[in-house]
Amino acid sequence: MPEAILTLNAGSSSIKFGLYTSESGNLAIRVKGEVEDVGDDLRMTAKDGYGARLADEDWSGEAGSTDALFRRLLDWIEAHLGDDHLVAVGHRIVHGGRDFQDSIRLTVDIVSALKGLTPLAPLHQPRSLAPIEAILELRPDLPQVGCFDTAFHRTIVPPASRYAIPSALEDEGIRRYGFHGLSYAHVASRLPDMLPGRRKVVVAHLGNGASLCAMRDGRSVDTTMGFSALDGLVMGTRPGLLDPGVLLFLMKEHGMSHDDLEDLLYRRSGMLGVSGLSADIRVLSSSDDPRAREAIDLFAFRVARETAAMANTLEGLDSIVFTGGIGENSPLVRRLVCERLVWLGVAIDPAANERGSGIITTDGSKVTAVAIAADEEIVIAEDARRLCGGTCIPAEASSRKMLSRISLKVRK
């Protein structure tokens, strides 16, 4: 019976899902959908592999209960399986800490170890784990696989991985992890065909969250996010790099608590904070308000500045890859970034940049820039098939080995 894989990517206001089937050895997308918070409503939309609409339904009745939501989603998926057999669910998990350096079959014990990493990603980790726990409860026999956003950066070593803090804190796990690893893994898999022979590549994952990855021969050697998803670039609602002295000042002079700072740093800063209007580049680009332009300029300035820093780690730069919602879709941002990198040998082709997909620099450009669509789901689906398709690796075997290695102690 043909095998099917379900992928789940639980974000702040939506759960994206994908249903893949194996066709002549390759995975093909059958259904792509989303359950999204829209005001007070919960809407489920889905399209088939050709982009034709399959569903647009009000699921608000399931809004109050994670179990009810995933029961309905699994029922819907199973009704659309046809002759295929669902062999696994693959999940995006934001943080794998130091120990989870590759995708893994999920068990109750593994999920509990992953919960222990919540202090490292207090807002994102619980969202990643909620669907896993719901499915463990609803369909305990359905194999589940966790794929980590941090795992692609396991190849980053000191000095790039270190903070200049006492070693005891580093030993506790306070180090630079990096995120958006599934998007970077997708780009890395495309590099040999897309940019053959280009060894030193900066990948810009520019979405609501944003980071850069310095890739040498397809492996991460540096990245702009660090211990948390707050570091590095300006983002939709996060400031990126911020002098820690600002936090000390706000605590002392404004009496701000941990929760106040968390709200400021995750929800009220970034392009939303600078513009006072929106976190969305689409809204900002079409606004006449000078603060909107200031926010976009600051965003692009910091992408360019950090690209130069990544090029320094790489000791050169052959290519830049733009991906993520902004990287794929905003010619304005790509142009502003590339214009600041002319000195590094980036010569943008304005017409190609407006068209968007593929190479956006001139034939003579020393550095080739390209724009491609992010596809974290295919990376998750492939790992889920590797771990659960065909001859399945027993969950207990893979998890026991992993659990015996877990040593990270996170202070609460």
Q: Which residues are catalytic?
A: 149
Residue 355 engages ligand AMP in binding (rule: CB under 6 A): no
Closest distance of CB 280 from ligand AMP, Å: 4
Using alpha carbons, list the distances in angstroms from residue 100 to 126, 170, 311.
Answer: 16, 17, 28
- Closer by beta carbon to ligand AMP, 44 or else 314: 44
Q: How far is the CB of 372 from ligand AMP (least distance, A)?
A: 12
Cα four-point dihedral sign 189, 150, 144, 107: positive
Binding mask 272-301 for ligand AMP (x = CB under 6 A): -------xxxx-------------------
**Which CB atom, from 141 or from 288, has the smaller least distance to ligand AMP?**
288
Question: How buried is 53 (Cβ within 10 angstroms: 0-12 exposed, 13-18 middle, 19+ buried)?
Answer: exposed
Task: Provide, rounded to whole angstroms, the least separation between the CB of residue 287 and ligand AMP.
Answer: 13
The answer to the question of residue 67 lying near ligand AMP (CB under 6 A) is: no
Contact with ligand AMP (CB under 6 A) among 33, 90, 325, 389: 325
Nearer to ligand AMP, 275 or 399 (CB): 275
125 binds ligand AMP (CB under 6 A): no
Residue 286 or residue 312: which is nearer to ligand AMP going by CB? 286
Q: Kindly state whether residue 232 participates in binding ligand AMP, applying the rule CB under 6 A.
A: no
Q: Tell me the residue number closest to ligand AMP, measured at CB.
A: 325
Q: How far is the CB of 323 from ligand AMP (least distance, A)?
A: 8
Residue number with CB closer to ligand AMP (128 or 208): 208
167 touches 106 (CB < 8 A):
no
Nearer to ligand AMP, 146 or 325 (CB): 325
Give the count of beta carbons closer than 10 Å to the beta carbon of residue 256.
Answer: 16
Asked if 330 is part of the footprint of ligand AMP (rule: CB under 6 A), the reply reads: yes
Residue of the chain from 181, 273, 324, 389 that contacts ligand AMP (CB under 6 A)? 324
Contact stretch for ligand AMP (CB under 6 A) within 69-77, 91-99, 104-112, 322-330: 322-330
User: What interhelical angle do 66-79 and 124-138 show, nearest 10?
Assistant: 60
- Tell me if 372 contacts ligand AMP by CB under 6 A: no
Residue 207 in contact with ligand AMP, rule: CB under 6 A: yes
Q: Report the residue from 208, 220, 361, 398 that binds ligand AMP according to the rule CB under 6 A.
A: 208
- Work out which of 307, 329, 368, 399 binds ligand AMP, going by CB under 6 A: 329
By CB under 6 A, name the binding residues for ligand AMP.
Answer: 207-208, 236, 279-282, 324-326, 329-330
